[in-house]
Amino acid sequence: FLHATPCPLLRIWPQTYDTEGFFCAVLRKTAPTRRIERVPSVPRREERFPRSTEAEIRKRISDMYGTDFVREGELLVHRGDLVLLTTEVAASLPMPIVDYGMGLPYAKGLKDGRFRITDELASARGMDALQGILIVNDAELQELLEGQNIECREDVEGDMILHWNNLAIGRGLAKEGFLKNRLSRWIVQLRGS
């Protein structure tokens, strides 16, 4: 199987998509490598915030949830009213094509100047939150998964990160003793489906 003399490269691909067995290919280089082609970089669709604006957004979210979800080496950028969390390295990387998205959706700017965190941030980093959380039990989770709103304590109000079984599962809006279900549509299983 292994030879002391140079031989073509052998690559084995694992089983995927219900195929049976393994596939293999023998590859041999038959042409010279092309020279590097310089391609002009395309401006990103996302823009960086001024430092003061980014600090203000981070403070607002931190005041709501008791923690800063932005870690060392990360920054916030925006595309319209959507705020994205990305790394400094990704933000400075030149791209020869228009990017689809430069980071994790972080928050959405509302017309009144507030920010509402996204489901992606709630599920990815919601366990770091120290306040603004609501722990749900199995029965409440089932109601939420069916697309229903649930009852909550009267003193709980505002955007909440939902925790179940030590997992952050999404968001909800608590108001007047009820929690409006704001779980992602891909999580919710509507009744009768």
pLDDT band at 1 (very low <50, low <70, confident <90, very high): very low
- Domains identified in the chain and CATH numbers: 40-118 (3.10.450.720), 132-184 (2.30.130.60)
Torsions phi, psi for 4 (to 5 deg): -75, -25
- Tell whether the model's pLDDT for residue 58 goes beyond 70: yes
Q: Dihedral of CA 103/111/155/62: which sign?
A: positive
- Tell whether the model's pLDDT for residue 72 goes beyond 90: yes
- Tell whether the model's pLDDT for residue 87 goes beyond 90: yes
Q: Which residues of 113-135 are buried (b: 16+ CB within 10 A; e: fewer)?
A: eebbbbbbbbbbbbeebeebbbe
Instruction: For residues 161-184, give the mean pLDDT.
Output: 93
Would you tell me how many other CB atoms lie within 10 Å of the CB of residue 86?
A: 19
* Stretch among 52-61, 67-76, 118-127, 183-192 having the lowest mean pLDDT: 183-192
pTM as predicted: 0.74
